[in-house]
Amino acid sequence: MLTVAIAGLGTVGAGVVRLLHQNADLIAARAGMPIALRAVSAKDKKKKRDCDLFDVAWVDDPIALAQSGADVVVELIGGADGVARSVAESALKSGKHFVTANKALIAAHGAELAKLAERNKVQLAFEAAVAAGIPVIKALREGLAANKISTVYGILNGTSNYILTRMREGALSFAAALQEAQAHGFAETDPSADIDGYDSANKLAILAALAFGVEPNLAAVQIDGISGITPVDLLFAEELECRIKLLGVARMSEAGLEQHVGPVLVPASSTLSQVDHVLNAVLLRGDFSGGVMLEGQGAGAHPTASAVVADLIDIARGHRTPAFGVAASHLKKAVAAKSAHKTHYYMRVQVMDKPGVVADISAILRDEAISIESLLQRGKSATESVPVVITTHAAEPSAMRRAVEKIAKLPTVVEKPCLMQIED
């Protein structure tokens, strides 16, 4: 018998409780023993929840769950610090296994918690922290463990993917697509973590840690969001036979480990471009395995519960795996590498339609040794701004960013240019 205590009974917490009940026999057969919920802790004891808590102890202070007698503490509260972090530390220090769906916690304190787990000879597990129902942590940490990984990338945020999909399908504005996502419960009232790329960045930092043997480091991830994308960009992407996807990309090169979250133009013919709506997908490239893609539900109570209980089954089976694939003391520091990876770029500049604008922009690009592949200026207006869209040949990321900053300062340019990589 493996006994479990859960901190946090929101939609995911209730989902885990339902799953433990609903598939109890099957879980016991696969785990080799029953997995039983013993104690829970949540803010509001009286709140009606869609799960059965009969015979489960209620503990007011989640930090006290470590002393509840359960073998495993599951944290489903969220947040990089505060209560979640205290629950993790108290559990591990008390010699309890610790399972979490909390990407912010792991991205911020994963290395430190992994060391704590190793010192106390217990398991730290977080399959649910990245891409929920897709067992991608396990794929990286175990399934592809024999491989030197060169890149990990993918669509790591369902909310943004839904918004970008609906903008394209329905020719919607960003605001309208966001509103639709909120109406469907795919986006929160404050959507910034999703649309500004921070949620993806947390997940990418965790995947990069597993792939490259480094401590997760959010500060080393360059983060661009999707709120600056307009229907005009979708139309131009279509013309370039591409789709716009918010990607997290981690890549090991001679310059070091590059980590970047941002909107990217991917070829419409690629499998990744077909991953629409709230689906997530992760691509891993190993030196022996070749490319492997995993696709599925990246969020939601049930897919997340599936991952949490998979971790519990691993623990019941007696599996002990270093949290990030190698001993925590062996993890290297992930520093923000200067990107050396040359790519093609898409840049949309909103300009007042005056003579010389294109000449000014072209001169800045020339000075940064960036070569223009195509330039399109559509529409004419004496009073409103018009878009100039430029695609470049493969260019240095740092040069491109410098050029964008200079272009943004031109008097005829009315807003910060929209810059996206174009994937080959």
Is the separation of the CB atoms in 133 and 248 below 8 Å?
A: no
Give 5-73 as a 3 state SS string: EEECCCHHHHHHHHHHHHCHHHHHHHHCCCEEEEEEECCCCCCCCCCCCCCCEECCCHHHHHHCCCCEE
By CB under 8 A, name the one of 84, 187, 257, 305 that touches its own copies.
Answer: 305
Cβ neighbours around 185 below 10 Å, total: 9
Residue 275: CB minimum distance to its own copies, A = 7
| Contacting residue, 34, 78, 228, 296, with its own copies by CB under 8 A | 296
Interatomic CA distance for residues 68 and 87, integer angstroms: 12
| Residue of 325, 387, 397, 417 that binds its own copies (CB under 8 A) | 325
What is the amino acid identity at position 268?
A
The site that binds its own copies (CB under 8 A) totals a number of residues, namely: 60
Residue whose tokens read 């399109």: 376
Going by C-alpha positions, the residue among 182, 178, 154 that lies closest to residue 167 is: 178
Site for its own copies (CB under 8 A): which residue of 43, 45, 50, 146? 146
User: Is 342 considered catalytic here?
Assistant: no
Binding segment for its own copies among 73-81, 198-206, 249-257, 325-333 (CB under 8 A)? 325-333
Let me know: does 105 contact 130? Beta carbons within 8 Å: no
Which of 227, 268, 273 is CA-nearest to residue 247?
A: 273
Taking CB under 8 A as the rule, does residue 154 contact its own copies?
Answer: no
Q: Using CA atoms, how far apart are residues 209 and 203, in angstroms rounded to an integer?
A: 10
Residues in 327-366 that interact with its own copies by CB under 8 A: 327, 330
For residue 165, the surrounding DSSP H or E stretch is helix 158-170
Stretch that binds its own copies, among 17-25, 156-164, 252-260, 387-395 (CB under 8 A): 17-25
Shortest separation between residue 80's beta carbon and its own copies, angstroms: 26
Query: Least distance from C-beta 335 to its own copies, angstroms?
Result: 20
Q: Are 196 and 223 in contact (CB under 8 A)?
A: yes
For residues 23 to 52, the per-residue mask of contacts with its own copies, x marking binding by CB under 8 A and - elsewhere, is x--xx-xxxx--------------------
Give the side-chain half-sphere CA count within 13 A for 28: 12
Nearer to its own copies, 71 or 396 (CB): 71
Nearest approach, Cβ of residue 29 and its own copies (Å): 5
CB of 333 to its own copies, least distance (A): 16
Task: Give the residue among 115, 297, 333, 85 at the shortest CA–CA distance from 208.
Answer: 333
Q: Which of 75, 118, 295, 423 binds its own copies (CB under 8 A)?
A: 295
Q: Which residue lies nearer to its own copies by CB, 274 or 371?
A: 274
> Are the C-beta atoms of 2 and 24 separated by less than 8 Å?
no
Number of H helices, E strands in the chain: 13, 16
Member of 309, 315, 334, 365 binding its own copies (CB under 8 A): 309
Q: How far is the CB of 318 from its own copies (least distance, A)?
A: 7
Q: What does the alpha-carbon distance between residue 301 and residue 312 come to, in Å, rounded to a whole number?
A: 16
Is residue 268 close enough to count as binding its own copies by CB under 8 A?
Answer: no
Instruction: Tell which one of 49, 93, 277, 302 touches its own copies (CB under 8 A).
Output: 302
Among 43, 45, 184, 317, binds its own copies (CB under 8 A): 317
Distance CA 198, CA 204 (A): 10
**Taking the complex as a whole, how short is the minimal distance between the CB of residue 102 and its own copies, in angstroms?**
19
> Which of these segments, 69-77, 110-118, 302-310, 409-417, binds its own copies (CB under 8 A)?
302-310
Tell which positions 198-237 bind its own copies, by CB under 8 A: 213
Closest-CA residue to 38 (of 19, 26, 20): 20
Do residues 365 and 372 touch, judged by C-beta distance below 8 A? Answer: yes
Give me the catalytic one of 96, 103, 203, 245.
Answer: 203
Minimal distance, residue 383 CB to its own copies, in Å = 42
* Candidate segments 49-57, 74-82, 110-118, 304-312, binder of its own copies by CB under 8 A: 304-312
Query: In whole angstroms, what is the distance from residue 155 CA to residue 150 CA?
Result: 17
Binding mask 111-140 for its own copies (x = CB under 8 A): ----------------x-----xxx--xx-
Active site residues: 203
The binding site for its own copies (CB under 8 A) comprises 15, 19, 22-23, 26-27, 29-32, 127, 133-135, 138-139, 142-148, 213, 271, 274-275, 286-297, 300, 302-303, 305-307, 309-310, 312-314, 317-322, 325-327, 330
